[in-house]
Amino acid sequence: MYRGPGSAPAAGPSDFSSSVSSGPSITTPQSSHHSSSSSGGSSSNSSSNNNGLLGSFGRHPLIEQAEEVAEQALSKGKKYLPTIARLLLVSTFLEDGTRMWFQWGDQSDYFRRTWGVHWALVVLFLVLNMTAQIGGSLLIVARKHVRVAAGVLFGVIVAQTLAYSVLWNLSFFLRNLAMTGSLFLLIAEAQDSKPVYTAGLTVETDKERQHGYLLLVGRVLTVFMFFTLLHQPFGLLKILLIIVGSSLIALVVVGFRTKLSALLLVAFLGILNLFLNPFWTYKSWDTSRDFAKYDFFQTLSVMGALLMIVSIGPGMMSVDVRKKAY
């Protein structure tokens, strides 16, 4: 949410439309093998080449070892990971909602000056905004009525974008896209999409496809947050951001070695967040404190979204899943 004069923005969106494909399809290793063998040598060679390009990178000893270490570390706190991810993801909404309470006077004065409306309308807007952010966040952490809560939080970001007139600000636009993607992931995580088996065959249902599309859109949109961090002067730090960040982002987007890539990106963003946004080092009267605090919690939310990907996986629309068919 944009925080008006003397305070910084902090908000978050959530677009959560979903795509549904029609008709179930059934796949088995045997049928896949029969199809590929009967299609002729050229099809087999093409599949082999594609698999080789992915496999040569994916089967690298260092990567295999890194994934093994990550799996061992995650297994110890696996049941707590989704809750931690949800809490981090909504942290920017919780921070903004509580901030509105403690900065009530500044916020109400700002809207009365810029809107030129009766004070009662300003109070109504602030109360609804604060209630929606805190209430929606608590529902998501509790994993109750997640779709409704995500819709409410998305409504908050749309209302705040219009109220603070930051629609055409590129940085805010990218952050809003990232938070929208985060909310897609929340909806996907709350959706039960366990595989359906019929007579020993795996049935690809409409629900599974919808779940896969939600995760795909969530992955793509969430990584837009990274591009808002590239405001640093050109130098070693920015080169490091571009090379390391872009590589991990590409892997997350296509869904290749997704859990490891997302986990590394969480660690990378965490270090950058502490280094670039230490809001606690600013004086309470310094306006830079609010902006640094905003950036800090927005980055925390994206880290939560990435941990959600680590927890539930990339879904059907990913290289990790699709390559298993070959």
Q: What is the mean pLDDT of the chain?
A: 77
**Cβ neighbours of 131 (radius 10 Å):** 14
pLDDT at 136: 95
Please state which of the ranges 10-19, 213-222, 233-242, 304-313 shows the lowest mean pLDDT: 10-19
Q: Taking residues 8-21, what's their average pLDDT?
A: 39
Which residues make Cβ contacts (< 8 Å) with residue 145, sequence separation at least 6? 139
Q: pTM score, two decimals? A: 0.73
Which has the higher per-residue pLDDT, 7 or 217? 217
Per-residue pLDDT tens digits for 163-205: 887 777 888 888 888 899 999 999 988 876 555 544 444 456 7
Q: Identify residue 313 by its one-letter amino acid code.
A: G
Q: Taking residues 52-60, what's their average pLDDT?
A: 53
Residue where the block lists tokens 């609010």: 290
Distance of CA 48 to the CA centre of its chain: 33
Q: What is the dihedral of CA 255, 261, 265, 268, to 10 degrees?
A: -160
Percent of the chain with pLDDT over 70: 73
Dmax over CA atoms of the chain, in Å, equals: 76
Q: Where is mean pLDDT largest: 14-28, 45-59, 234-248?
A: 234-248
Q: Closest by alpha carbon to 133, among 187, 95, 78?
A: 95
Per-residue pLDDT tens digits for 64-109: 777 776 677 677 777 888 899 999 999 999 999 999 888 888 888 8
Q: Give me the DSSP letters along 5-33.
A: TTS---------------S-EEE-HHHHH
Q: Taking residues 279-289, what's their average pLDDT?
A: 88
Q: Taking residues 314-326, what's their average pLDDT?
A: 74
pLDDT at 11: 41
Q: Are strands 25-27 and 196-198 parallel, antiparallel or unpaired?
A: unpaired
Residue 16 scores a pLDDT above 50: no
Residue 126 scores a pLDDT above 60: yes
Q: What is the dihedral of CA 32, 36, 39, 45, to 10 degrees?
A: 160
Q: What pLDDT band is residue 6 in, cutting at 50, 70 and 90?
A: very low
Task: Give all strands of the β-sheet with 196-198 in edge-to-edge order.
Answer: 25-27, 201-204, 196-198
Q: How far apart are CA 318 and CA 322, in angstroms?
A: 6
pLDDT at 137: 95
